[in-house]
Amino acid sequence: MSPGRSVSTLSTMIAPLAGGILIGLAATLRLWADGRAAGVSGALAGTLARGPEGRTPHARFLLGLVAAGGVLSLLGVPLAQGILPRSDAAMAASGLLVGMGARLAGGCTSGHGVCGLSRLSPRSLLAILIFMASGALSVVLTRALAGGRL
């Protein structure tokens, strides 16, 4: 196996699988400890607009996510290979759409994907399929509109 091929298997299969297992463990831990599913957008909404359960477990969960980034950064683990050519305006538009869409859909990829699919929720399956179809359309449009540089 040439070095290029084994690097590609690592980054396309092994690392994603390993990371996915950690994510699944984390979701189980959160549900066991807090009694709530690990949807990030739900935690965000719960922190920003105080829900009946109070902010703190949500906020702590989100802080943990941020801390993970800091830890990986300190360890010299790269979080990305290069950057998407997107202006601040495009990133802001993206954030707005994701934020509104997640609330309307009742979850994001962690809520519907990790938690919902694990429970065999038909709603979550529908949500995930639409996320992907819509996402695919978005990629096509972005490329068509500005050659992929927005």
Considering only residues 36 to 95 of the shown chain, the ones binding other proteins according to CB under 8 A are: 36-42, 44-45, 48-49, 56-58, 60-73, 77, 79-84, 86, 88, 90-95
- List Cβ<8 Å contacts ≥24 apart for 26-35: 27/110, 27/114, 27/115, 27/118, 30/61, 31/115, 34/61
Residues from 19 through 38 that contact other proteins (CB under 8 A): 19-38
Residues from 118 through 147 that contact other proteins (CB under 8 A): 118-119, 121, 123-124, 126-127, 130-143
Please identify, using beta-carbon distances, which residue of 3 and 105 lies nearer to other proteins: 105
Instruction: Provide the minimum distance between the beta carbon of 1 and other proteins in the complex, in angstroms, as a whole number.
Output: 18
Of residues 101, 144, 147, 149, which one binds other proteins by CB under 8 A? 101
Instruction: Provide the minimum distance between the beta carbon of 8 and other proteins in the complex, in angstroms, as a whole number.
Output: 10
Please identify, using beta-carbon distances, which residue of 6 and 84 lies nearer to other proteins: 84
Of residues 6, 7, 18, 149, which one binds other proteins by CB under 8 A? 18
Which residues, 6+ apart, have CB-to-CB distance to 109 below 8 Å?
A: 128, 131
DSSP string, 88-137: HHHHHHHHHHHHHHHHHHT--IIIIIIIIHHTT-HHHHHHHHHHHHHHHH
Rounded CA separation 27/113 (Å): 11
